[in-house]
Structures are given as structure tokens and as C-alpha cells.
Amino acid sequence: MSVLRTSGGLSVAYRPRALAVGSGCLLLALLGALFTLASGGGDYPLSVDQVLSTLIGQGNPADAFIVREVRLPRVATGLLVGAALALGGAVFQSVVRNPLGSPDILGFTQGSAAGALVAIALLGGGSLALASGAILGGVGTGLLIYALSWRQGLHGYRLVLIGIGVTAILTGVNGYLLTRAQISEAARAVLWLTGSLDGRGWEDVLPLLCAMVVLLPVVLLGCARALHMLEMGDDTAYALGVRVDRVRLAALAAAVLLVSFGAAAAGPVAFVALVAPQLARRLTKAPGPNLLPAACLGSALLVLADLVAQRAFTGHELPVGVITGVLGGGYLVWLLATERRAGRI
Amino acid sequence: MDATAGTRLHGDGLTLGYDQRTIARDLDVAVPDESFTVIVGPNACGKSTLLRALSRMLKPAAGSVLLDGSDIHRLPPKQVARTLGLLPQASVAPDGITVADLVARGRYPHQGVLRQWSRTDERVVSESMASTGVAELADRFVAELSGGQRQRVWIAMALAQQTPLLLLDEPTTYLDIAHQIEVLDLCAGLHAEGRTVVAVLHDLNHAARYATHLIAMRDGEIVAEGEPAEVMTAERVEEVFQLPCTVIDDPESGTPLVVPAARHRVRA
């Protein structure tokens, strides 16, 4: 652990290795973003110089339109959604004290999907209705799971099991909603359900950006240190002066909102919330929820996965959720096998 | 004279229980300042429940625990954590944490967002590790340590809180006899430095040897309290534990030593 101190008695502690991992991932995410801005899906290639000059308000109008109105919103969505999902996942895994306690598995993303499907299939709404549906669905599922698993305090294992049950129910509900939808709406819904950054505009980015401006300080400044203490068990954390129930409720509420707003912007992109915190933890080798490194890694993961999705098959773009799903699913199998052997699950 | 003089921590009229099950009713208890108070009693007598109430882990259904004259549940949690430390029965060492990192977490009640790691924090953590004999383990992973070493690390973490009162819930459970004595000697040392120490112990002979103030409980009631020599009599042990016994002087320390009556003799 290293520390920066001011003469006024203020001090900030950090771990050099975690800092390196976090900034490395951030750099990778920004490089991936720059590359996406320059090349897009390969149709209208620009040089890095051209991209940078459009970003500072110069360059010809066609380039400026492509970069600022088409590619930049997509890249910004990728960066923010990756960070939001990863951060939400890191909080959940820390509170539940189990890598399986991530929003993908607990049913929050299925809840967002159900809300979005209601908006598309039953109400026939547009993209605003879809986003609102996703947020309401995620938050509603959060409340439901919390109410069902709360009994004289929250226990990680019960939360995971109830979450898995709720996921199963919601999967059924989602299937039913899809069959009720018109064929064109169903196609749109399925694309959204896979998770895609294609065609994102500033109207998709702004709500997420606002949510993150509010929620990041809540999580990183308000809860992070207490989450470290909570890892040692409720009694120990309480003995050290942590308001256990209050911190846990605030952290989980913020995480549910992050994941829901993320899903509203890009669809329930699979497995980022599960994988990013686990990878961050293995890279930093630091105990604790590793919130910032996880968020940076989530951004990098989603932006790079989107690059692959755009270019893997020429002339045929994949939704990014396909890539993260394949990578994340494989990682989950590996995780279950190794953690099982280590006796942690 | 006020009955609560000379005690920073006491409980008045405590009714304690979990859900609907009441464990103790209308209990008055006072921890004498600068004592090494040990609570003993048979299983399920309420001794751990009482310790949980005194350390504010359990909110009493009636009555109140007072710390320095204020209801402990009304005080800010961090302020309580700077006065009263607790070593719970079950703590989880996070994955991949080193001894120094774990002990450093004991500084939490003294820190804030802008005061994360002061020079005082650094000094207190090294001192806590030195006085519990874990300084040379500082960079080892907690998961690799033996049970006795791990317990000393947890005690070091509680010490780093720098509290004048320290409560320990069965600190010697699961340890072999040598490590039990090691941990109890450590607690006696902390007491000698001026701290008030409260522990729940199973072993009556350890309790009698180390305690300056003994509280004997049965069925949620305090049956006797005072100096071990007065409290620990053969009649009292039989009354509390239903165990016929003889009490002799401990040849090492002169404190009471409980020798259970022999009901079965092994033939030579």
C-alpha cells in the first residue's frame, strides 16, 4: 500500500499495482475507442489525425458528422455501459461475498429485459419507452429480490438462490412476451436482448451519463471503504463502526440503478458484470471489491468486444452481446471449475 | 454510592433474545473499569448473548447498554468503535489479504475519505503487530497461517482500533492448549497495560487464572460475580454446571482449580 499525504494531515492510500491495472485498462479502452472512431465498421475509414481534428471542432462536415453523430455516441455508450455494468457487478459480488452474486445471474438483467419487452411488445413504445421499461424492470426486480431475501439481515447465499429462481421465472415471462409481439417488434426486441451498441445516439448516452455522475460518487466515495470492511463479516464490520444495513442498502441500490441504466442504453450485454470484477481482482491481486479497476476493465472489455463484433465477419456486423456472451460464458465455466476445486463455491 | 461508578460499560434491565425466543430477562451487569472480566457458564446460558449486547451487536428488547453514560445504540457507530473493540466469534479473512492489510483495517474508525492512512495509522498498526507477535508475519497471507497465529492477527486488528475497552467472544475456541495459553497471556498483557478486557471463556480453570472479575451465568441469569477466589467454589460450580467437583489451589498461580469428581475410574 502506498500513500499520498498533504502537510494539512490529509492522506490518500492506494495500491500501485491496482493503479497500474486501472490506468492500463483505461488506456486500452481509450485506444479501442479511438480506433473505433477512426475505422467504424470499416466503411468510411478516417485517419487518427482526422478524428482528432473533428473532435476539437475542425475537419470537413462529412467527417465531423460521421465521428460526432454516428461513431462517438456508440463509443461513449460502450465506455459508459462497460463501466456501469462492471461497477454494479463488483458491488454485488462484494456484498454477496460470492462471484456468482452478479446481476447477470441474480436476475436483474432479466428484469430489465422484461421491462423493456413490456414496453416494446405490449405497449408498442419507442426507444424512450424501451429505456424506461428497462430501468423500471431492473429496479422492480431489485426490490422484489431484496424483499424476498431479507430476513433479519441479508445473507449472500439466500440472495443468490432467490435470484436464480427469479431469473428462471423472468426468462419464462420474457419468452411469453416475445410470442405476443408483432414479428417486426419481436425482431427489434431480440436484437436489444442480445445487447448491441449499433445505432446508439446521444439520446441513449445522456441518461446513463447523468445516472453515473450521481451514482459514481455514491459508490466510490460513500461505500467503497465500508464495503472493504463488510468483506470480513457483518459483526466485524459493525464492530469497526460501519453502519452495516445502511451501507449495504445504499450500495445495492446504486448497483441496481447502474446495471439498469446500462441495460437501458445497450441492452442486457451478457457477462460483463460477472467477468470484469473477477478479472480485475486477479490482475490487481488486491483484496477488496476493486471498484475502479473493475470499472476501467469493463469499459475496455466492452469497447474491444464491440470492435471485434463490428469486424469479425466482413459485411455482417454482430451484436456486441454475442461476443461478451461467448467470452463470458467460457469464463464462467472456467471460474466454476476452478473455484469449485478451491472450495469457494 | 452510585452503583455505576467505576464502570464505563454497563447494562441496565436487559431483556435479550433472538426473534421470539427470550434468552435473558431483566439483567443488570456492570464491567468494572480496568478489570479483566470473564463470563462463564454452561452452553446456552446466555453468556455470548450478553457479550453481543454489551458490544451492541444485539439490540436489547428492553433495557439499555450504557457506554460512558449514553445508550450505546444512540452513539455514532464510529465513536463507539473508537472506545470499544470487539473480537467476534466468526470473522472472515478476505481472499488474498496479507496480515499487515488485515490489521490495518482496524484503523477504519479513525479514518475518513480524506484521511485514509495517516502516520499515526502506520505507527499504531506496527505497534499492534509487534505486541501480538505477528510483526514478522506482516507480508504473509492470512489464509496460510495456523489457527493460533490467525487469532493473534485478529486480536492485532482489534488492538489497532486503540480502544480502552476490548471484548472477546470465546477467543480460545478451536485452539490447542498451547495456543489457548498464548492468547490468554496476550489478553492478560493487554489488561496489564491498562485496558478493560471482557471475554467469554469455556474453560473454568483458565477463567479462574486470568480473570480479575468473574461473572457466572446460568439460564440467562447472573448467579454470582466477584473475584475468582470467592466465586469459584465447589458448591457454586455444581450449582451452575451440575458437575460434582473439588476445588483446589492451582499449584502454579494459587487461583482456584476445578477438578471434576471421578465417576469412572480407569483400572490400572
Domain limits of chain A? Answer: 36-332
B chain contacts of residue A286, beta-carbon cutoff 8 Å: 96
Calculate mean pLDDT across residues B188-209.
95
Cα–Cα dist B160/B187, whole Å: 14
A chain contacts of residue B124, beta-carbon cutoff 8 Å: none
DSSP state for residue B198 in the 8-state scheme: E
| Domain spanning A36-332, CATH architecture | Orthogonal Bundle (1.10)
B chain contacts of residue A217, beta-carbon cutoff 8 Å: none
Task: Check pLDDT > 90 for residue A73.
Answer: yes
Q: Which helix (H) or strand (E) holds B260?
A: strand B256-260
A chain contacts of residue B91, beta-carbon cutoff 8 Å: 232-233, 235-236
Whether residue A143 contacts residue A81, with contact meaning beta carbons closer than 8 Å, is answered with: no
Q: Which helix (H) or strand (E) holds B63?
A: strand B62-67
pLDDT digit string, tens, across residues A137-176: 999 999 998 888 877 666 777 888 899 899 999 999 999 9
Positive/negative CA dihedral, A21, A22, A26, A32: positive
Cα–Cα dist A2/A315, whole Å: 50
Task: Check pLDDT > 70 for residue A69.
Answer: yes
- In terms of C-beta density within 10 A (0-12 exposed, 13-18 middle, 19 or more buried), how is residue A197 classed? buried
Cα–Cα dist B166/B199, whole Å: 8
Positive/negative CA dihedral, B238, B240, B243, B247: negative
- Phi/psi of residue A330, each to 5°? -60, -40
First-residue to last-residue Cα distance in chain A:
29
Cα–Cα dist B176/B258, whole Å: 20
Question: Where is average pLDDT lowest: A100-109, A260-269, B162-171?
Answer: A100-109
DSSP state for residue B228 in the 8-state scheme: H
When pLDDT is cut at 50, 70 and 90, the band that residue B135 belongs to is very high
- In terms of C-beta density within 10 A (0-12 exposed, 13-18 middle, 19 or more buried), how is residue B82 classed? middle
Higher per-residue pLDDT: A21 or B267: A21
Q: Which helix (H) or strand (E) holds B101?
A: helix B99-104
* pLDDT at residue A211, as a whole number: 96
Cα–Cα dist B71/B49, whole Å: 18
Cα–Cα dist A228/A53, whole Å: 43
Cα–Cα dist A185/A191, whole Å: 10
Task: Check pLDDT > 60 for residue B3.
Answer: no
Cα–Cα dist B93/B99, whole Å: 10
Task: Check pLDDT > 80 for residue B1.
Answer: no
Give the nearest chain B residue to A243 (CA atoms): B77
Q: How many residues does chain A have?
A: 345
- For B125, the 3-state DSSP assignment is helix
Å between B62 CA and nearest CA of chain A = 18
Å between B191 CA and nearest CA of chain A = 20
* pLDDT at residue B184, as a whole number: 95
Residue with cell 492477527: B153
Cβ density class B87-112: b for 16+ within 10 Å, e for less: bbbebebbebbbbbbbbbbbbbbbbe
Say how many CB pairs under 8 Å bridge A and B. Answer: 90
CB contact under 8 A, A152 and B56: no
* pLDDT at residue A334, as a whole number: 84
Listed ranges A120-134, A310-324, B37-51; the one with the highest mean pLDDT: B37-51
Say if A287 is an interface residue toward chain B (CB within 8 Å): yes
Calculate mean pLDDT across residues A220-237.
93
Say if A246 is an interface residue toward chain B (CB within 8 Å): no
Calculate mean pLDDT across residues B172-194.
93
Whole-number CA gyration radius for chain B = 19
What is chain B's mean pLDDT, rounded? 93
Calculate mean pLDDT across residues A250-256.
94
* pLDDT at residue B84, as a whole number: 96
Higher per-residue pLDDT: B95 or B145: B145
Task: Check pLDDT > 60 for residue A345.
Answer: no
What residues pair up with B15 in beta bridges, in sequence order? B62
When pLDDT is cut at 50, 70 and 90, the band that residue A186 belongs to is confident
First-residue to last-residue Cα distance in chain B:
59
Calculate mean pLDDT across residues A11-17.
90
Contacts of B96 (CB under 8 A, 6+ apart): A285, A286, A287, B141, B143
Higher per-residue pLDDT: B199 or A125: B199
Instruction: For the sheet with B9-18, list strands across it.
Output: B21-31, B9-18, B62-67, B70-71
* pLDDT at residue A342, as a whole number: 63
B chain contacts of residue A1, beta-carbon cutoff 8 Å: 101, 104, 117
Half-sphere exposure of A101 (CA within 13 A, CB side): 25
CB contact under 8 A, B116 and A231: no
Task: Check pLDDT > 50 for residue B262.
Answer: yes
**What are the residue ranges spanned by the domains of chain B?**
1-83+163-268, 91-162
- Phi/psi of residue B146, each to 5°? -75, 165
Cα–Cα dist B255/B261, whole Å: 19
Whether residue B66 contacts residue B80, with contact meaning beta carbons closer than 8 Å, is answered with: no
Which residue among B19, B108, B114 places its CB closest to the CB of A241? B108
Whole-number CA gyration radius for chain A = 20
pLDDT digit string, tens, across residues B70-88: 999 999 999 999 999 999 9
* pLDDT at residue B100, as a whole number: 96
Task: Check pLDDT > 70 for residue A255.
Answer: yes
Cα–Cα dist A321/A306, whole Å: 9
Q: Helices A291-311 and A272-284 meet at what angle, rounded to 10? A: 120
- Phi/psi of residue B212, each to 5°? -100, -20
- For B120, the 3-state DSSP assignment is helix
Higher per-residue pLDDT: A44 or A212: A212
Task: Check pLDDT > 80 for residue A42.
Answer: no
CATH class of B1-83+163-268: alpha beta
Q: Which helix (H) or strand (E) holds B71?
A: strand B70-71
SS3 sequence of chain A: CEEEECCCCCEEEECHHHHHHHHHHHHHHHHHHHHHHHHCCCCCCCCHHHHHHHHCCCCCHHHHHHHHHHHHHHHHHHHHHHHHHHHHHHHHHHHHCCCCCCHHHHCHHHHHHHHHHHHHHHCCCCHHHHHHHHHHHHHHHHHHHHHHHECCCECHHHHHHHHHHHHHHHHHHHHHHHHHCCHHHHHHHHHHHHCCCCCCCHHHHHHHHHHHHHHHHHHHHHHHHHHHHHCCCHHHHHHCCCCHHHHHHHHHHHHHHHHHHHHHHHCCCCCHHHHHHHHHHHHHCCCCCCHHHHHHHHHHHHHHHHHHHHHCCCCCCCCHHHHHHHHHHHHHHHHHHHHHHHCCC
**Nearest to A231, CA basis, from A274, A144, A291, A176:** A291
Pairing of strands A2-5, A11-14: antiparallel
Say if A229 is an interface residue toward chain B (CB within 8 Å): yes
What is chain A's mean pLDDT, rounded? 89
Q: How many residues does chain B have?
A: 268
Whether residue B228 contacts residue B183, with contact meaning beta carbons closer than 8 Å, is answered with: no
